[in-house]
Chains A and B, each alone.
Chain A
Amino acid sequence: MRFRKWLMKQQWRIVQIRGIWGLFYGILLLAITYFEYVPLFASMGALGPFAFSAALLVFFLVLGYLYDRVFIMWAPSQEVSMERNPYQYVPSPKDHIFWFPLYSSLLDMTEELARKYDVDTQYVKDARAYYARLQSLRPERNEDLDIAVKIRDEFIKSHRFVDDNGEQGHR
């Protein structure tokens, strides 16, 4: 296991450096293919591709600044990625193995305490019914993703923390 971990550490390092290097590699390849057609850089001889690469790099960095600071493009970009992750809708192995047992116990205990003091436990019953449906959904079935979105939206719509009148626990 220690050797395998060592090997994977080397892989991680290679992937990291390759990721960084890959950014410049593409630019260098583009520059060496096209620099001869750009008069300013074509006349520079051996320095031409490097100078063209540097110019492209500066251009990309300016674009990166606009992407990051001006247009905040990372937000919609992550939204697109998030939408395409089935485990955003249906339970992952971790949810089944760790989170659902905890959720189930927390709901049971809360219900028991509430019942002891004669408090309405409908909130717990609703949440339990919701999770019972959710845990039966599988990522392999595309229609399950649609069902997950439907039951999630229904729950949120009918169970709001604070309603329009400012009352807590509207149901």
Chain B
Amino acid sequence: MHCDTRRCAVVLVKKWIMKQYWRVGTIRSLLGLVLGMFVLGRKYYPYVPILADEGLIGALVLGTLLVFLFMGLGWLYDEKAKMWSQQVQATTERNAYQYVANYKTYAFNYPILYALLLVLNKTLTKLNLSTRAIPDSIAYMDIYFKRKLVKRDIFSALPAAKEYMKKHPFAQGADTAERPIGLRSRIKLGFQVQLLRLTWIQSLTGLLQDVLVFGALYVVLFVPESVTAATDTVPLEYLVLGILFISLPLFMVLASLGWIYDRRLRIWSPDMIVKFERNPYQYLPEPYLHIQLFPFYLALFSTIRQVFMEAGLDATSIDRVLAFLQEYSELDVARTEDMDKAKRLRKSLGVLFS
């Protein structure tokens, strides 16, 4: 990127800040569980009968036990229950952009689908080879791209797709009936749905919860006499003062910072750039490409190659793209150097859309 303007320098600084933020976040995610458990151990050990009289040792023992408990739960969650499947299912089902086109689909897929479908339709009509498939597909795309992010459009998308696939199945006579789902899977999904709902509510109310806890704990610092020596608690009137003069102003400050983060600094842009640059699948093929797209594009380009040969056209460009797909599919995310290979492979194709 050329950086000869002041604005560009600001972008670089923002990106640097977000890089540090990403690094801190990564380390925090590793250490957060351990630190959290020890804080909880310190807070809760007086309520655990065997450890109540052990002081610091009791807090550390409870914290350590909780760390091991959660490490074990992590193993069960991953290896035994494979909960990540239902976790992704619950999230995907509640992703509105699984049903309605997102900004990227409009910007990147609409033009290519538009050009290919319409030219193909005209060409087939000219050759008297026209079928209902292409006009139906055009009509389907028209409805798809007109859907908005409203309840009716979201919930009508999947039935419409199933209806279309019934009319145009991949193979004639293919079994399109839905297979029943087992009770265990349903229970796991139900659990993940509840977790997801809690996540949403926590993310909505989390900041408020944090400032309420902060206000209640820190009012003691500002008004030391607020602690009742006998019970080691803060009387209600001081707690209200803590909420009014610590929690609420802090909430307003943090909310304003959020506005500055979003509107003034637009930090979300460098934040996303840093995340994308650190995703190896931005450069290399992910399982989805191997499983779904490579077989499709291989068949598509091979078929078009045959058509080109029959029509007496030069198929060199198709051979080039087939070679590109072949080389790209051999790159492996396990080899760090393949990321540079992927970039070189793209450059070898020269200028596109010229």
Which residue of the partner chain B has the closest CB to A56?
B209
Interface residues of A (CB under 8 A from B): 1, 5, 9, 11-23, 25-30, 32-34, 36-37, 46, 49, 57, 60-61, 63-65, 67-68, 72-79, 82-89, 91-114, 116-121, 123-124, 126-132, 134-135, 138-142, 145, 148-149, 152, 155-156, 159-162, 168-169
Measured between beta carbons, the chain A residues less than 8 angstroms from B196 are 64, 68
List residues 96-125 of chain B with CB under 8 A from any CB of chain A: 96-97, 102-104, 106-108, 110-112, 114-123
Q: Any chain A CB within 8 A of the CB of B233?
A: yes
Do A30 and B285 have beta carbons less than 8 Å apart? no
Do B107 and A18 have beta carbons less than 8 Å apart? no
Given A60-B201, A161-B139, A92–B78 Cβ distance below 8 Å? no
Q: How far is the CB of B225 from chain A (nearest CB, A)?
A: 18
Q: Tell which of B123, B268, B349 has the most Cβ of chain A within 10 Å.
A: B123
Q: Any chain A CB within 8 A of the CB of B291?
A: no
Do A127 and B77 have beta carbons less than 8 Å apart? no
Given A21-B33, A86-B273, A155–B111 Cβ distance below 8 Å? yes
List residues 130-177 of chain B with CB under 8 A from any CB of chain A: 135, 138-139, 141-142, 145, 149-151, 154
List residues 156-214 of chain B with CB under 8 A from any CB of chain A: 193-202, 204-206, 209-210, 212-213
Among the 9-residue stretches B53-61, B248-256, B304-312, the one with 4 or more Cβ atoms under 8 Å from chain A is B304-312
Measured between beta carbons, the chain B residues less than 8 angstroms from A84 are 262, 268-269, 272
List residues 317-354 of chain B with CB under 8 A from any CB of chain A: 317-318, 320-321, 324, 328, 334-335, 342-343, 345-346, 349, 352-354
Interface size on B, residues (CB 8 A): 116
Complex formed: what's the CA distance from A83 to B277 in Å? 19
Q: Any chain A CB within 8 A of the CB of B282?
A: yes
Q: Any chain A CB within 8 A of the CB of B236?
A: yes
Complex formed: what's the CA distance from A160 to B311 in Å? 30
Q: Any chain A CB within 8 A of the CB of B29?
A: yes
Complex formed: what's the CA distance from A168 to B36 in Å? 60
Measured between beta carbons, the chain B residues less than 8 angstroms from A49 are 47
Given A29-B43, A97-B345, A168-B118, A142–B94 Cβ distance below 8 Å? no
Complex formed: what's the CA distance from A12 to B29 in Å? 9
Do A23 and B199 have beta carbons less than 8 Å apart? yes
Do A104 and B1 have beta carbons less than 8 Å apart? no
Q: How far is the CB of B196 from chain A (nearest CB, A)?
A: 8
Q: Any chain A CB within 8 A of the CB of B40?
A: yes
Q: How far is the CB of B52 from chain A (nearest CB, A)?
A: 9
Given A34-B212, A36-B233, A74–B94 Cβ distance below 8 Å? yes
Do A26 and B201 have beta carbons less than 8 Å apart? no
Measured between beta carbons, the chain B residues less than 8 angstroms from A19 are 199
Which residue of the partner chain A has the closest CB to B286?
A94
Do B199 and A161 have beta carbons less than 8 Å apart? no
Do A110 and B70 have beta carbons less than 8 Å apart? no
Complex formed: what's the CA distance from A60 to B318 in Å? 57
Measured between beta carbons, the chain A residues less than 8 angstroms from B204 are 63, 67
Residue of B120, B126, B276 near A118 (CB, 8 A) is B126
Do A113 and B266 have beta carbons less than 8 Å apart? no
Which residue of the partner chain A has the closest CB to B33?
A18
Given A25-B40, A33-B217, A61-B198, A140–B8 Cβ distance below 8 Å? yes
Given A87-B276, A135-B353, A72–B107 Cβ distance below 8 Å? no
What are 5 residue pairs bridging A and B, where the CB atoms are less than 8 Å apart in the complex?
A: A68-B197, A79-B96, A83-B103, A113-B311, A168-B135
